[in-house]
Chains A and B, each alone.
Chain A
Amino acid sequence: MKARRDVYQAIADPTRRAIINMIATEPHNVNAIAQKFDITRQAISLHIQILIDCGLIAVKQQGRDRLCEAQLDQLSEVSMWVDQYRQHFEKKLDAMETYIEKLKKERDGKHNK
């Protein structure tokens, strides 16, 4: 069974988001990342592996260091879904406007009678 690996999986965890934030501005090696967190090196490695699998991190070998670089293109997929969610609320306002128009008509009708 293959675990789900997509951008949502990548950002679902606060530690992984913190890692992305950290390397977004400049690449860090795995040790530097591990030092910043209060969890085991093993756990950090796992998070990094998930981020790699999800395509949000690329690893470059630089001498003895494994340098983690952020690949942020995929995050646009998230903003697309956020926009769609916003559309949901826009639709709510559409429904409200339609309802108001109906109400106005009903009330005008009553006044005219």
Chain B
Amino acid sequence: MENTTSNTTDREIFISRTINAPVALVWEVWTKPEHIANWWGPDGFTNTITVMDVQPGGQWNLVMHSPDGTDYQNKSVFKEVVPHKKIVLQHFNPNFTATIQFEEQGDKTHLNWHMLFESEEVFMAVVKAHKADEGLKQNVEKLVAYLQGLK
């Protein structure tokens, strides 16, 4: 008796924000490895981007290095790339589809970020993993502070 409707609310996350920067710059920090390495991933982590081929079918492989020395492999494939407008990527293990939309609003950019998990099991497993990581919140805050300190 599985729910067969197309209701996806139990396995998706949607966030949006208006960024105080023109769309060209926001697009740049999302699509250039030398930029995204500086802000992607939880805190205290460093990122090594091995492949980032921003075009449909292109791969995006990155390794997040945790403060305790554990490496986390992240693999995604770009499904759709519309410059200054839209990125759709399929992330593997955990499997989810991320859609990032960029809306030009004068010299600001409105960002819509939607993540749809393959199944509720996958989604809950990821949520639980975050629950397990008690230090996560502080870690992310530390990262923000670190970035602010960079000149």
B121: chain A residues at CB < 8 Å are 12, 14
Give the nearest-CB partner of A102 in chain B: B150
In B68-123, which residues have CB < 8 Å from any A CB?
111, 113, 115, 120-121
User: Contact mask A5-21 → B, CB, 8 Å, 1/0?
Assistant: 00010011010011001
Q: Check A82–B127 contact: CB distance below 8 A.
A: yes
Is the C-beta of A65 less than 8 angstroms from some C-beta in chain B? Answer: no
Give the secondary structure class of A's interface.
helix
A60 close to B (CB within 8 Å)? no
Given known contacts A18-B1, A37-B1, A93-B111, A102 and B147 CB-to-CB distance under 8 angstroms: yes
Tell me if A95 is interfacial: C-beta within 8 Å of chain B.
yes
Q: Given that A85-B126, A103-B25 are contacting pairs, would A90 and B15 also be in contact in the complex, using a CB cutoff of 8 Å?
A: yes
Cβ-defined contact, B124 with A99, below 8 A: no
Pairwise interchain contact A103-B29, C-beta atoms closer than 8 A: yes
Interface range on chain A (Cβ under 8 Å from partner): 35 or more
B51 at the A interface (CB under 8 A): no
In the bound complex, residues from chain B placing their C-beta under 8 Å from that of A96 are: 19, 29-30, 39
Q: Which residues of B contact A41 (CB under 8 A)?
A: none
Q: Which residue of B lies closest to A33 (CB)?
A: B1
Contact indicator A85/B111 (Cβ below 8 Å): no
Q: List 17 A-B contacts (CB under 8 A).
A: A21-B1, A78-B124, A81-B128, A82-B13, A86-B15, A88-B130, A88-B136, A93-B15, A93-B113, A96-B19, A96-B30, A97-B17, A99-B38, A99-B147, A102-B148, A102-B150, A103-B35
Extra inter-chain contacts (12) besides given A14-B2, A82-B13, A101-B20, CB under 8 Å: A12-B121, A21-B1, A85-B127, A91-B141, A92-B39, A92-B140, A94-B140, A97-B17, A97-B19, A97-B20, A100-B29, A102-B147
Give the 7 A-B CB pairs with smallest separation, nearest first: A91-B140, A95-B39, A99-B39, A98-B147, A18-B1, A96-B39, A100-B21
Q: Which residues of B are in contact with A by a Cβ distance under 8 Å?
A: 1-3, 13, 15, 17, 19-21, 25-26, 29-30, 35, 38-40, 42, 111, 113, 115, 120-121, 124, 126-128, 130-131, 136-137, 140-141, 143-144, 147-148, 150-151
